[in-house]
């Protein structure tokens, strides 16, 4: 059994570690071995109410705290996360399954949101203008929205929390965090760093629970709550939006994705494969931004496929804490089962397995890095998120117009990737793609300085950049006569 670095396992409410009201706990399991690595406090509605009271009580002072003071606190959190990078990365690997290199990258990315929003906290700029009719001035200010609920997923257990917490704190809000039940440790580990950096009691409250639906629903019907931010599946997001409608809450959400990866004729094959390996294999494909379906031009398809297969076959599979391994365990058996079902469906419809295509026997939830060729357009794997290390490739003979048509043929619209030797062509195609984010000639789109989010059923609002902080603010207009 691998040793978990020191990590709190109780509820974090009003700046204190508390035992749950019920006295119950739940197991957190290493997905690579099936072994229990921790028992975490199982919060209930009583704990949720206590957290809401704490957040509401802390709101007036925190929202009135000068932006520069809030900024300095966030900057210290960034420094502490970088200082504690190794134990934080090991916690992610042990509860999530991803390779240690991926976990280290996640910690750096997660920490960067605190540095970015330490800078944005002081840029809450309003405006003053003359009323067109004359006689008065129009003042516009941006104020913190209030107490906010943050529901985070299991696939990036640190970064998806900090991407919400940092802008909320920069804006002057107080927060209620419900981390994913499979991966609560990363958020709990963050709490002590927040306190050490100077975040006041009650500003951040973290309540892991096995009763997510009931707890979050209670929060969404608390009149002191004004916003819910969620990252996860479209299906769950739709339920939260319906519940949020009862109080007309603001609902920034990052939901499902079905990212296309376009390789246009004439594109540099090596560069395209380099990008494909990042876009597909980051977190073993367990990401809403992961490249889910590959469309390659007829002239470049064979070379791209051959090189992609070669690179995927060379990846080493095993426990994420082993530095030699590049492919860790998927998070649980239902996830692996869904991956295998999509692969088998594609094969039954005529696709060819070019490498991989099987579960790895033994403990854990490992799946071989897989490339599928000759994938028919009616295969489920082109319509549903695969959330695993599988790359289905479609040969496109009709040129860029057909690629755009195939890429847009989805209810999702989070991320798209394209490779083209002609930058002007690439930019024109990017504008035609119905996605909130497009990566041109690169395999990574996420950046704290960029507005992250989707269109259609991939979500509402944006995270990151200046837009990310504005999600946690209300715009107030004041008419002044002078």
Q: Which residues are catalytic?
A: 254, 288
398's CB contacts (< 8 A; 6+ apart) are none
Task: Please compute, for residue 125, the number of CA atoms within 13 A of its CA located in the half-sphere on the CB side.
Answer: 6
| CA pair distance 218, 241, nearest whole angstrom | 14
| CA pair distance 444, 324, nearest whole angstrom | 23
Strand residue runs (E) in 242-333: 253-254, 259-263, 291-297
Neighbours of 172 (CB within 10 A): 26
- Grouping H, G, I as helix, E, B as strand and the rest as coil, residue 415 is strand
Q: Which parts of 393-452 fold into alpha helices (H)?
A: 400-408, 423-432
11-13 and 174-178 beta bridge pairing: unpaired
Angle (nearest 5°) at CA 432 between 404 and 427: 100
| CA pair distance 406, 205, nearest whole angstrom | 44
Q: Is residue 303 within a helix (H) or strand (E), and if so which, with residue range?
A: helix 298-313
Nearest-CA neighbor of 373 among 401, 346, 408, 400? 346
- Grouping H, G, I as helix, E, B as strand and the rest as coil, residue 399 is coil
Nearest-CA neighbor of 42 among 160, 170, 188? 188
Contact 336, 390 (CB under 8 A): no
Nearest-CA neighbor of 309 among 392, 416, 375, 421? 392
| CA pair distance 61, 64, nearest whole angstrom | 5
Strand residue runs (E) in 145-288: 147-151, 174-178, 204-206, 225-231, 253-254, 259-263
Contact 160, 231 (CB under 8 A): yes
Nearest-CA neighbor of 104 among 252, 330, 241, 282? 282
Structure tokens at 435: 């996605």
Query: CA 109, 110, 115, 119 torsion: positive or negative?
Result: positive
Structure tokens at 297: 């031009």
Structure tokens at 57: 């009580």
Q: Is residue 482 within a helix (H) or strand (E), and if so which, with residue range?
A: none
Contact 370, 391 (CB under 8 A): yes
| CA pair distance 453, 281, nearest whole angstrom | 20
């Amino acid at each position: 059994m691998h040793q978990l670095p020191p990590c709190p396992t109780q509820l974090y409410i009003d700046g204190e570690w508390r035992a749950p009201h019920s006295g119950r706990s739940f197991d957190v399991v290493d997905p690579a071995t099936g072994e229990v690595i921790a028992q975490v406090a199982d919060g209930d509605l009583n704990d949720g109410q206590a957290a809401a009271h704490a957040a509401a009580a802390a709101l007036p002072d925190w929202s009135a705290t000068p932006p520069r003071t809030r900024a300095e606190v966030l900057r210290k959190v960034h420094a502490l996360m970088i200082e504690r990078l190794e134990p934080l990365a090991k916690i992610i690997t042990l509860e999530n399954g991803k390779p240690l290199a991926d976990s280290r990258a996640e910690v750096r990315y997660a920490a960067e949101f605190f540095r970015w929003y330490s800078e944005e906290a002081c840029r809450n700029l309003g405006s003053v203008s003359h009323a067109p009719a004359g006689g008065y001035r129009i003042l516009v200010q941006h104020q913190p929205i209030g107490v906010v609920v943050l529901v985070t997923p299991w696939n990036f257990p640190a970064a998806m929390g900090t991407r919400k917490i940092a802008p909320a704190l920069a804006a002057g809000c107080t927060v209620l965090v419900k981390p994913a039940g499979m991966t609560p440790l990363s958020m709990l580990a963050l709490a002590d760093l927040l306190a050490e950096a100077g975040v006041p009691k009650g500003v951040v409250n973290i309540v892991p629970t096995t009763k997510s639906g009931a707890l979050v629903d209670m929060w969404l019907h608390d009149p002191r709550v004004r916003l819910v931010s969620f990252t996860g599946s479209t299906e769950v997001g739709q339920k939260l939006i319906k519940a949020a409608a009862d109080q007309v809450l603001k609902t920034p959400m990052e939901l499902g994705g079905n990212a296309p990866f376009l390789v246009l004729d004439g594109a540099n094959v090596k560069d395209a494969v380099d990008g494909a390996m990042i876009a597909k294999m980051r977190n073993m494909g367990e990401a809403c931004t992961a490249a889910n379906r590959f469309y390659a031009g007829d002239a470049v398809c064979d070379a791209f496929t051959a090189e992609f297969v070669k690179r995927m076959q060379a990846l080493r599979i095993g426990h994420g804490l082993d530095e030699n391994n590049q492919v860790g365990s998927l998070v649980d058996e239902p996830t692996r089962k869904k991956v295998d079902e999509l692969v088998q469906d594609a094969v039954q419809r005529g696709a060819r397995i070019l490498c991989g295509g099987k579960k790895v026997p033994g403990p854990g939830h490992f799946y071989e890095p897989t490339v599928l060729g000759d994938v028919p357009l009616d295969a489920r794997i082109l319509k549903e998120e695969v959330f695993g290390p599988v790359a289905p490739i479609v040969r496109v003979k009709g040129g860029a117009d057909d690629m755009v048509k195939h890429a847009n043929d989805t209810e999702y619209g989070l991320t798209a990737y394209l490779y083209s030797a002609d930058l002007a062509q690439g930019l024109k195609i990017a504008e035609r793609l119905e996605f909130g984010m497009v990566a041109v000639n690169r395999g990574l789109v996420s950046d704290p300085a960029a507005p992250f989010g989707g269109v259609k059923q991939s979500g509402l609002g944006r995270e990151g950049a200046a837009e990310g902080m504005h999600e946690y603010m209300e715009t107030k207009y004041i008419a002044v006569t002078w």
